[in-house]
Every structure is written in C-alpha cells, then in structure tokens.
A and B are shown apart, each in its own frame.
Chain A
Amino acid sequence: MSFPIPDLVPAIPEMFVLAMACTILVVDLFLKDDRRDVTYGLTQFTLFGALVLTWIVHVPEARVTFSGSFIADPLSDTLKSFIYVIAAGVFLYSRPYLKERGLFKGEYYVLGLFAVLGMLVMVSAYSFVTLYLGLELLSLCLYALVAFDRDSGRASEAAMKYFILGALASGMLLYGMSFLYGLSGSLEIPVVAEYLIANAGQFSVPLTFALVFVVVGLAFKLGAVPFHMWVPDVYHGAPTPVTLLIGSAPKIAGFAIIMRLLADGLGAMHADWQGMLVLLAVLSLAVGNLIAIAQTNIKRMLAYSTISHVGFLLLGILAGTQEGYAAALFYTVTYAIMAMGGFGMIILLSRQGFEAENLDDFKGLNERNPWLAFMMLLLMFSMAGVPPTVGFYAKLMVLQAVVQIGMTWLAVYAVIFSIVGAFYYLRVVKLMYFDKPADEPLPVRGLDVTVVMSVNGLLMVVLGIFPGILMSIAALAVGP
C-alpha cells in the first residue's frame, strides 16, 4: 500500500507553534524564577514567527491537505493573523499582573500557546474530527488556566463549572456530528455539504435533530442565551489575565467554527438554522443587556456584555449572505480588540493584593490618570456603539445585513437593546469623569503595557474613522 505524503506546507504555522510550545515547555524547566522573562520572550517570538510564516506560505487559493481534514484559505489565514496579534496583546497585558501575584510561571505561557494552537486548528479545520479536536485542545487549556491560581476558591469553582458545562456542550456537538456522519457517510465538511445539496427540500427528521444538537453545542461554547450560565461565573472567577484570554481570541475561533459548520457544511439548511439563530440572538441581546445593568462587578458586567455582543455576532451570521458573514467577521474582530482593552484596563489598574474589578474602583479615574481614563472612555464608547468609534460601524454593518434580508423588525429590536446597553457602558464613563476618586495610588506600569493600551484605545477611533481597511480585509477573507 503506497501513500502519498500530504502537502505539509499549508500547515507550517501550526507545526511551528507546536514545536515552539514543546521547546518552551522544556526550556522553562531549566530557568530560575528570576529568568522567567525568557519564557515570555520566546512566547512572543513564537506568535510573531507564526504570523510571518502564515503569510510566507499564503496563497490566494484554498488548499486542502491531510486527506481533506485541513484547509488553508484566505479566511483561515486572516483569522489566524488576528489570533496571533490578540494573543500577543493578551500575554503582554498579563505579565505585570502575574508577576505581582506569584503566578508568573512557564505553564501559563505553555498552556496559552497550546490554546492558540487549538484555535489555529479550529480555524483551519475541514472535517468534523479536526474541528472537534481543535475545540477540545482549546477548551482543555482554558479549563486548566481558569484553575491556574490554585489557592483561590473562586477560581477552582469557576473552573469546575466551566469544565462540566464545557464537557456537556462537547457531548451535544459530538452527538449532532455523529448523526450527520451516519446520514451522509462522511466526516468531511464538503462531502456533507454535497449530500445536503443533493437532498435539498426533503430533509429527514434526524437531519433536523442533528442540526439542533450542533447549534446547541455551538451556542454553549459561544455563551449565547439560554446556554450562557457559565459565562459570568467563569469570567468573574478566573484570574483576570485568563479572563482576558478567554474573552478575546477564542471568539474569533468561535466565529470560524460557525462559518465552517453552519455556513460551509450545513449551508443548504440555512432556512432551518436561521430560525434557531434568530431565537438565540433575540434572547442574548435582551438578557445580556438587561442583566448587565444590575452588576456592580466590572468583570461580571463585561461578561454579560459579551453575551449581548454574541447576539450581534449571530445576527450577522443568520443573514446567510456574504455581506452578513463579512459583517460578522468585522464584528468579531472588533469585539475581540475591545474586550482585550477592557479586561486589560482592569489589569492595569490592579495592584498587588487589590483587584480593580468593582465599578467603584473606576471612580474619578480622570483625576488619577487622565490618559488611561480617556482610553477607557474610547473602549466603552466603542462597546456601546457611539459614532466616531469602530463599535458603531461594526453594529451598523451587521444591522445593514439583517435589513437586507428583510428582517427589519430584528434590526429595530437590536437597536433598542443597544440603547439599553449604552446605559451601563456610559455609567463607567460617568464614574471615571464625574465622581470623586478614592485615595488610592495607581500602580506604576511599564512602558510596553502603556504603549499597547494606548494603541488599543486609539485603534477604536482610527478604525472607526477608516473602517474601510478592516472591512475590505473581512470581505476578502469571506470571499465571493
């Protein structure tokens, strides 16, 4: 039996990240505690190298290799690049926080890199097996990272909840996938898509059954209502750098898995899953925005805000048009950058033995540090969708796509709840600018963190004024 060696070139970035993660794992063993910065430097180098490699091996056409289980196309390369950049930002923000709390260990970076690898695999998956393995790789790293601060009871509780609900969601997804396999006889996404097109118009009951399980599994992983129970507890309980990691880059991988499964694989069943996504989006927008108002803890508030943003993301996808997918991609990337800034700010204001995680800790930030207050203002405006910022443009694109398919009522509904949501974002701004500060000195931060935070905040305005760059990237990635 002869077997042609698969084309390994498209998978070079993944192989590089894997090799470097293993190298860092071993190198870290030989480092003394005060030389831990080497681990950090190697991690950042890995992400940078992977970014460069991704674009060196990039070609405009889609390439499928490893017997149909791996695909490299413009969508995957674009999403991968965003994942590298955001992960690098996350590691950069986390360093001072981890150092102050005695958590500055090599495992954080090794597990973080493996999580990045899991996201890359998800983004490039072209069969159900790879998709599922990538998702599990990512989830396992995140479960462990949530429990990373072992002496914190809250973190352990959050990790336990995350693990059990995550396992349940994986089970749902697998059950749905096994049905699809049983019906179509293949695990490869294009083959399943062909099977569905051939049987268009006469979908059997088990097919709908399978679709329900797949959508429920995805909704669990994304945290859409009514499968959102784990989100606030996990975001609140996890150490802030881990919340930062969970809240930012994996959303991009989540977008990728929806694109591959629903848009590419089950595209022929669009009419069936559109209704389900409408329900999820409607509930997510309402629950996320309304419950966030009642929160006094900013990590919980941002968790509920995530839920409402997921609602918006689903709006773009349920449109099922190229504009809709491009808008959803635009929204996801924008959201990931905003979330990175928001949680990064909590890290910047925290110091040893003190977490700036309550809304009151932001009181009078303008008097204590006007520049950081201004950055937070930009981030909050962008999350709320106030015009000059990119958040406004992202919401506009999604709403346009929804109106184009004739669901104007849904767009109006989304706008109403965005206005409700604006309340709690603007409350943070009010606390920073109009309330008296508590007499707490701000910790002094290194130049790198401040610079990245400034870039992060200003990006909100720059992308808001020139959305064309990101929009054309999104449109190119989604393809014709």
Chain B
Amino acid sequence: MSFQLAMFYIFSAILVGAAAAMITVRNPVHAALCLVLAFFTSAALWIMMEAEFLGIVLVLVYVGAVMVLFLFVVMMLDVNIARLREGFIRFLPVGALVAAAMAVVMIMVVGARHFRIEPPAPAATDVGNTEMLGRLIYTEYVYPFELAAVILLVAIVAAITLTLRRRPGTRHIDPAEQVKVKREDRIRIVKMEAEKK
C-alpha cells in the first residue's frame, strides 16, 4: 500500500466517522463541529486528487464562512433538539429499509464499471489547478460564467424585493433629523402674566 493510498483511507475513515457523528450526536453545536470536520477532510481528499482549488474553496467558504454563520444561528436560536428527534425510533425500520433498497439500486446501476474511467496521469507540476480553472472560466466557459453572475444579481434583487419594506409606526430614529433640530422645534416659550399674591 502506497503512502498516498494510506492517506486516502485515513481521511476517508475520518470523513465517514464525522458524517455519522454529525447526524447522531445530541448537541447541535457538536453536530455543526462534526460537519466542519467532514468538510475539512473532504477538502483534504480533493487536494489529494489534484483539485486544490476546490479544496481551498471548501475550506474558505464552507468551513470559514457558512459553518461559522451556522454555529451562530444554532447558538442563538437554542433549538429544542429533543422534539426534532421524536419518532426517530418509530421511523427507523422504514427509513432503514428505504435506505437499504436505495443502496442496492445505486450499487447495481451506478457502479464504476459503467463509467470507463481510467485513472488520469498526474498533471504536470508547472501549471496549477487554480490557474487552469481561471483560464477556462474566462475563455471557454465565459458564457455560463456570466449567466451565473446574472443569477446572483437576480437573487439579490429578489431578496430585497421580498424583504425590504417601510413599516409605518416603527420607533426608528433618523439621526439626521436629530442633528438638524433647532431650539424652536423643542421649546415653546409661553408668556404668562405673573400671578398676584
């Protein structure tokens, strides 16, 4: 067994273990941390397959940003996990049966023997995966790349359309108004006759 293969098995074992732990641990914070571990080991697997860019992006975006946000939400919301777990044992037999049937079908249909895949030769070391990806995105795939940008723009427009609203009657304060205020706006001088003793 080569060093590379050994590393692959080690990382895969950690990945499978972390994924299993993620759905079985009781504490949601621990579950989120297990997911971080799963992401991290998959990134390692990708880097071993010479897909450095994907590995780096996975660590930067998912581990660095998405999961941290996720942890914040989990900690802030204080989800009652016991209620979500109700019926876990009750549905377990049916769920296990479906999962087993799916697994059998997948193994029968999606085996590697159908995809005439030869292990590709290792790429030359002078051109990095990231550089190649950059070149391809801005040349061959420029049209799909631009479309993806348009989709993101639409997502922004849609999110703002659906959530931004001016509610009347909220007690929000405009600082500009406050700064501009003059003495006359706040104080009223009332002239009164002095009362006789």
Contact = CB atoms under 8 A, between A and B. Distances in A.
Given A183-B115, A205-B108, A143 B144 contact: no
Contact of A107 (B108, B114, B161): B161
Contacts of A107: 157, 161
Contacts of A144: 154, 157-158, 161-162
Interface string B20-38: 0000000000000000000
Main secondary structure of the interface of A (DSSP, over half): helix
A85 interface: no
Contacts of A25: 157
B147 interface: yes
Contact of B154 (A67, A114, A134): A114
Interface string A1-18: 101001000010000001
A204 B113 CA distance: 11
B147 A133 contact: yes
A75 interface: no
B71 to A, nearest CB: 25
Size band of the interface chain B makes with A: 20 to 34
Given A206-B114, A209-B109, A129 B141 contact: yes
B164 to A, nearest CB: 10
A3 B138 CA distance: 10
Contact of A67 (B109, B141, B161, B165): B141
A141 interface: yes
B158 A143 contact: yes
B154 A140 contact: yes
A114 B162 contact: no
Contact of A69 (B144, B148, B153, B158): B144
B161 A206 contact: no
A204 B110 CA distance: 11
A209 B114 CA distance: 12
Contacts of A136: 151
Contacts, number: 78
Given A111-B154, A183-B115, A66 B110 contact: no
B140 interface: yes
A130 interface: yes
Residue among B114, B115, B144, B151 with max Cβ neighbours from chain A (10 Å)? B144
Residue among B108, B135, B158 with max Cβ neighbours from chain A (10 Å)? B158
B158 A183 contact: no
B168 to A, nearest CB: 14
A150 interface: yes
Contact of B143 (A66, A111, A183, A209): A66
A150 B163 CA distance: 9
B183 to A, nearest CB: 34
Nearest to A114: B154
A114 B150 contact: yes
Interface in B143-180: 143-144, 147-148, 150-151, 153-155, 157-158, 161-162, 165
A425 interface: no
B146 to A, nearest CB: 8
A458 interface: no
B161 A111 contact: yes
Given A66-B143, A150-B162, A206-B109, A140 B114 contact: no
B108 to A, nearest CB: 7
A11 B108 CA distance: 43
A182 B153 CA distance: 31
A393 interface: no
A137 B144 contact: no
A148 interface: yes
B148 A140 contact: no
A209 B105 CA distance: 11
B142 interface: yes
A182 B115 CA distance: 6
A330 interface: no
Given A107-B157, A111-B157, A150-B162, A69 B141 contact: yes
Interface in A174-202: 182-183
B147 A140 contact: no
Contacts of B2: none
A127 B144 CA distance: 10
Contacts of B151: 133, 136-137, 140
Given A183-B115, A205-B109, A206-B114, A140 B158 contact: yes
Contacts of A117: 150
A148 B158 CA distance: 9
A110 interface: yes
Contacts of B157: 25, 107, 110-111, 114, 144
A127 B162 CA distance: 32
B67 to A, nearest CB: 22
B80 interface: no
Interface string A147-189: 1101000000000000000000000000000000011000000
A136 B150 CA distance: 11
Given A11-B143, A182-B115, 5 more contacts: A133-B147, A137-B151, A144-B157, A183-B115, A206-B110
Interface of A: 1, 3, 6, 11, 18, 22, 25, 66-67, 69-70, 105, 107, 110-111, 114, 117, 121, 127, 129-130, 133-134, 136-137, 140-141, 143-144, 147-148, 150, 182-183, 204-206, 209
Cβ-closest 10 pairs across A and B? A144-B158, A66-B143, A133-B147, A3-B139, A107-B161, A67-B140, A129-B144, A206-B114, A182-B115, A114-B154
27 contacts: A1-B135, A3-B139, A11-B143, A18-B150, A66-B143, A69-B141, A105-B161, A107-B157, A107-B161, A111-B154, A111-B157, A111-B161, A114-B153, A133-B147, A134-B147, A137-B151, A137-B154, A140-B155, A141-B154, A141-B158, A144-B158, A144-B161, A144-B162, A205-B108, A206-B114, A209-B109, A209-B110
